[in-house]
Structure 1
Amino acid sequence: MTSHRGTHSDLHSEQGALRAEHPGRAKNPVIKVLDLAWLQFVKPDLVASERFAHAFGFTTVSRTADELLLRGTDSGDPCVVVRRGPCSRYLGAAFRAADSTDLVRLADATGTRVEKLPEHLGGFTVDLTDPSGVMVRVVADTHELATLPPQSTQVLNFGHDVRRANAMQRPPRVPARVQRLGHVVLQTTRYVESLNWYLEHLGLIVSDFKYYEGQRERGPTMSFIRCDRGMTPTDHHTLAMMLGPSNRYVHSAYQVGDLDAMAAGGEYLRDLGFHRSWGIGRHIEGSQIFDYWRDPDGLLVEHFADGDLFDSSLEPGWSPMTVSGLAQWGPPATKDFLGLTPGREALRELVSMARSLREDNEFDLTRLHGLLKVTSS
């Protein structure tokens, strides 16, 4: 009989944890980060990157020959830092600590040092590397960007609840203005090791676990992870991680005002010839309305709106990992979104599968069979 102890079944999952399963949080983490600060990428063409960024809804903070800083309308840090380099790749994430004393505590616990960030960012950082080899920065006391004028959201009539009369609805076909960075999704060959590292060092907690059908006894293969700010609700996931045959960036997500902004902004992107990967729909884990796009270098980025917010009282949900379980409504997940479209990306993943099976990691033949079942579910 399935246990429902600690579940939140009516919110986003039908199952709670079984006895002795992963608790989804560390008992005594080193620190508890407040949020993502920014993501760092390398791109060969900053002009093309900025052109897409403006169409997607970012605002430029600054651009030099070697670096591009992009922001949303919310106050705080830039959302994205792009450095010029020979090929497009994800470098890592910066998380925001509560204050600089947390940086000292983290540095002492990890045998690293607190360093000054460049003057245009301000503040301090502790630079770490997660078990997958991805750079993780934890920052504090950075310069705070002022709030920009937000994009207007639509006034909606809900059935007989009339909030708009003698006025027409005409959302303009313009970029959906990004408000803030929401989350990043990563794939790793060392999923449980990496998960535990983030929980223990940064104090993150799991909102949802996913497992391969028929392999639950082997443990989870994906987790949606949020910040622990006590009784202050935070995004359902700030970081999501999944087991796979390679260590790679999957996508990053940026909040916009509402569905109309997202849809009209999508039409604007399509008019400019950019490629929609999947959308528009509504997710199950996190409940976000989503729309996925490819940037000029093929990296996947998401507009989202109306996501779930949880405080620290909710325990993780558990559910099987399926493609059909990615959305409550919307078009079927595309081959492009799933990385199954024939081409360089799919070929790289096939090569990674063969290599991973020969290496000492968590992605073994049984896990490969589980993943193949997921792609056909």
Structure 2
Amino acid sequence: MPDPHTGLHSELGGLPGEHPGRAASPVVKVDGLAWLEFQKPDLDRAELFARAFGFDVALKTATELHLRGSEPGSACVLIRKGGRSRFLGPAFRAADPADLARLAGATGTSVAVLPETLGGATVDLTDPGGLRVRVVSGARELAALPAPAPLIHNFGDESPRVNATQRPPRVPAAVRRVGHVVLQTTRFRRTLDWYLEHLGLIVSDFLFYDGQRDRGPTMAFIRCDRGRTPSDHHTLAMTLGPSNRYVHSAYEVGDLDVLAAGGQYLLEQGYDRSWGIGRHIQGSQIFDYWRDPDGFLVEHYTDGDLFDSTLEPGWGAMTASGLAQWGPPATKDFLGLKPGRASLAELRAIARALREDNEFDLPRLRGLLKVASS
């Protein structure tokens, strides 16, 4: 029986004339994700899940909740109290404070001071899908927190653990930092180019619908260009779809034991696993996906790829089976096919998108349906 992953690992390169995966002269080159901002109606409920997921609380008031990981830096998730749950947008960290003035000048915007609870300054932009995108500098730095010590493993002939048992505690999986965010857009090429040109991001991997490579990619895994300094395989991922929306965000934990034991803890607290545990192909992360009480998809991950700026984009066909090297099949919940309000909203979005001027046309819909059944 042939290996279903053959040809999916995207070590295949681009063809002549295909998207190069980077802008020739970007305005600035951001250094990473600073934080993600959400709005939720119940901060107490959000805090309860956040602590079970493995965050620490850096700040809580009547109107906002700041969540942090164990690594030093700013809080990595900001939740503001509001009437309905929604994703407000990402904030990227500027590589140099002077980049804010350069970005503001190039976009006709201005540098604004952030609230005292955050410190620093921001340039607020709007991407082609209408999402607010911040580039920040000088935000208040939080000191590192104690993190779980790595376990001592016995591997084959190397057996450093003798006369000692292995008992990882079943506790929340201590989050280290925010890793990436995934967005869906109806105008994939325009939105992709906007991020590459304005923020200096570069593509690690492109995916395309089977039989439609000549129409261009429909998903991109995008990293920060830090020169010869390695960067996460993707800080941002973007996929074509019938609506402009948040897909999921991911948070790094220490290792597989931390991830798995933390997942058992979440199950015991009554939370819903969406998909996992498995290992991705693009990015190679070991993953575990969860739904928070407001319906947002969030991921624990560990052992992700790191690329420097010398690697060119890989290309591969987009399939559901190609999302993981090993693990259970992608669930209907993860693929957005589980019956419920979210899937009904996406069906309405499909009908609307097919009537509008965007990249999500009937052949693209057929390609997406083929992905879901593959």
Do the two structures share a fold, i.e. TM-score over 0.5?
Answer: yes
Matches within 5 A, 1:225-264: 225-264=222-261
**Contact 1:12 1:286 survives alignment (8 Å):** no
Distance 2:167 2:240 in 1: 44
Distance 1:315 1:51 in 2: 42
Query: Which residue in 1 is equivalent to 2:163?
Result: 166
Is residue 111 from structure 1 mapped to residue 108 from structure 2 by the alignment? yes
Post-superposition Cα deviations, 1:64-110, rounded to whole Å, max 9, x if no partner, equal 11100000000011110000011111010000001221000000000
TM-score (norm 1): 0.97
Query: Which residue in 2 is equivalent to 1:36?
Result: 33
Query: Which residue in 2 is equivalent to 1:221?
Result: 218
Q: 1:365 to 1:290 in 2, by over 3 A?
A: same
Distance 1:128 1:372 in 2: 33
Is residue 97 from structure 1 mapped to residue 68 from structure 2 by the alignment? no
Is residue 358 from structure 1 mapped to residue 355 from structure 2 by the alignment? yes
The 3-state SS of whatever aligns with 2:123 is strand
Residue number among 205, 209, 212 corresponding to 1:208 in the alignment: 205
Post-superposition Cα deviations, 1:253-291, rounded to whole Å, max 9, x if no partner, equal 000000000111001000000000000000000000000
Query: Which residue in 2 is equivalent to 1:3?
Result: none
The 3-state SS of whatever aligns with 1:30 is coil
1:171 is displaced (CA, Å) by 0.3
Instruction: Work out the percentage of aligned pairs sharing the same amino acid.
Output: 70
The 3-state SS of whatever aligns with 1:266 is helix
Amino acid corresponding to residue 302 of structure 2 in structure 1: A
Amino acid corresponding to residue 66 of structure 2 in structure 1: L
Post-superposition Cα deviations, 1:1-53, rounded to whole Å, max 9, x if no partner, equal xxxxxxxx999424100010000000000000000000000001000000000
Q: 1:302 to 1:174 in 2, by over 3 A?
A: same
Distance 2:256 2:370 in 1: 33
Which deviates the most, 219-228 or 150-159?
A: 150-159
Distance 2:8 2:83 in 1: 44
Query: Which residue in 2 is equivalent to 1:74?
Result: 71
Distance 2:224 2:13 in 1: 20
The 3-state SS of whatever aligns with 1:319 is strand
Aligned residues: 369
1:153 is displaced (CA, Å) by 2.2
Q: 1:11 to 1:180 in 2, by over 3 A?
A: farther
The 3-state SS of whatever aligns with 1:304 is strand
Query: Which residue in 2 is equivalent to 1:343?
Result: 340
Q: 1:360 to 1:52 in 2, by over 3 A?
A: same
Gaps of 5+ in 2: 1-5
Is residue 197 from structure 1 mapped to residue 182 from structure 2 by the alignment? no
Query: Which residue in 1 is equivalent to 2:303?
Result: 306
Residue number among 43, 48, 58 corresponding to 1:46 in the alignment: 43
Is residue 61 from structure 1 mapped to residue 74 from structure 2 by the alignment? no
Post-superposition Cα deviations, 1:174-230, rounded to whole Å, max 9, x if no partner, equal 000000000000000011100000000000000000000000000000000000000
Distance 1:119 1:27 in 2: 37
The 3-state SS of whatever aligns with 2:325 is strand
**Contact 2:8 2:317 survives alignment (8 Å):** no
Distance 1:23 1:99 in 2: 26
**Contact 2:9 2:316 survives alignment (8 Å):** no
Post-superposition Cα deviations, 1:144-179, rounded to whole Å, max 9, x if no partner, equal 110000122211111111121111000000000000
Query: Which residue in 2 is equivalent to 1:289?
Result: 286
Query: Which residue in 2 is equivalent to 1:6?
Result: none
Residue number among 6, 11, 15 corresponding to 2:12 in the alignment: 15
> What is the alpha-carbon root mean square deviation over aligned residues?
1.2
**Contact 1:99 1:141 survives alignment (8 Å):** no
Distance 1:43 1:183 in 2: 20
The 3-state SS of whatever aligns with 2:214 is helix
- Divergent runs of 4+, >3 A: 9-12
**Contact 1:153 1:261 survives alignment (8 Å):** no
